[in-house]
Amino acid sequence: MLYHENVSVIRNESLTNDIYDMRFRSRDISAAAKPGQFINVYCNDSSRLLPRPISICEVNGEEIRIVYRVAGKGTKELSGIRPGEKINVTGPAGNGYDVDMINQTYSSVMLFGGGVGIPPMVELSKRLKIKTDVFLGYRDCLFLNEDFCDDANIHIATEDGSAGTRGNVLDALKASGVDADLICACGPLPMLRAIKKYAEESGKKAYYSMEERMACGVGACLGCVCKTVEKDGHSKVNNTRVCADGPVFDASAIII
């Protein structure tokens, strides 16, 4: 069920020079939200009609937390919203991770988050009951690294070597010597491709959360398709919609 609501922003503060932490309250969205799902956030400036998809970072009671990078005009506008101001949102959108299945099937998991692929991993780590190692990849400034579930082991990689392992999340994995049954990952395509190669070579099951460019955000325009291994039964093409059929996919089903 997708809810459309006009919500009051409770908080909207910068975590780094271009990363913002926004919170709003919605009883219905928070009750239905699963990790990996996202919120379509509408701009108040009517020249920007399309919603901006932002992952659910945390759900605390009725409060939803989203963490976003200022990437263009829409997110710039969002960064200027003050507590008490209202925005239109729809959510929870997309499919999310099947946490019950993961808890019942696997005994350990590695979560990989790169850049703005880190936020959805926070709520996922909170709901997992199995041994969890989290690998976080940053350019330089850290954010959210202290907000994961207390039981999760955190491993950091930075491109400039200012914290953790110098390099990417796979360099941090090598440095840690960690192994696990399952991989869940969200981040830029080059990171997902490298993790896919590692998962295939080591025979591990993997789920990826894709952050494809979107337009309508609700499955109507085909603006967000990604390639699939199998043909879609209805359209007979090797495509799937990230916004409606994803953003979380079984790695073996998609071509990246």
Ligand X SMILES: Cc1cc2nc3c(=O)[nH]c(=O)nc-3n(C[C@H](O)[C@H](O)[C@H](O)COP(=O)(O)OP(=O)(O)OC[C@H]3O[C@@H](n4cnc5c(N)ncnc54)[C@H](O)[C@@H]3O)c2cc1C
Selected binder of ligand X within 38, 143, 198, 208 (CB under 6 A): 38
> What is the SS3 assignment for 59-79?
EECCEEEEEEECCCHHHHHHH
| CB 245 to ligand FES: min, Å | 9
| CB 35 to ligand X: min, Å | 12
Q: What is the DSSP string of 176-216?
A: HT---SEEEEES-HHHHHHHHHHHHHTT-EEEEE-----SS
Quote the CA–CA distance of 37 and 51 in Å, as a whole number. 15
Which of ligand X, ligand FES, none does 141 bind, CB closer than 5 to 8 A by kind?
none
Output the CA angle 157-160-164, nearest 5 degrees: 30
Please give the residue ranges that form the binding site for ligand FES (CB under 6 A): 214-217, 219-224, 241, 243
Range 183-212, binding ligand X (CB under 6 A)? 211-212
How far is CA 188 from each of CA 29, 117, 195, rounded to the nearest angstrom?
Answer: 27, 7, 11
Q: Check if the beta carbon of residue 114 is closer than 8 Å to that of residue 134.
A: no
Range 41-70, binding ligand X (CB under 6 A)? 50, 52-55, 67-69
Q: Which residue is nearest to ligand X (CB)?
A: 72
75 interacts with ligand X by CB under 6 A: yes
Range 91-150, binding ligand X (CB under 6 A)? 116, 119
* Binding residues vs ligand X (CB under 6 A): 38, 50, 52-55, 67-69, 71-75, 116, 119, 211-214, 247
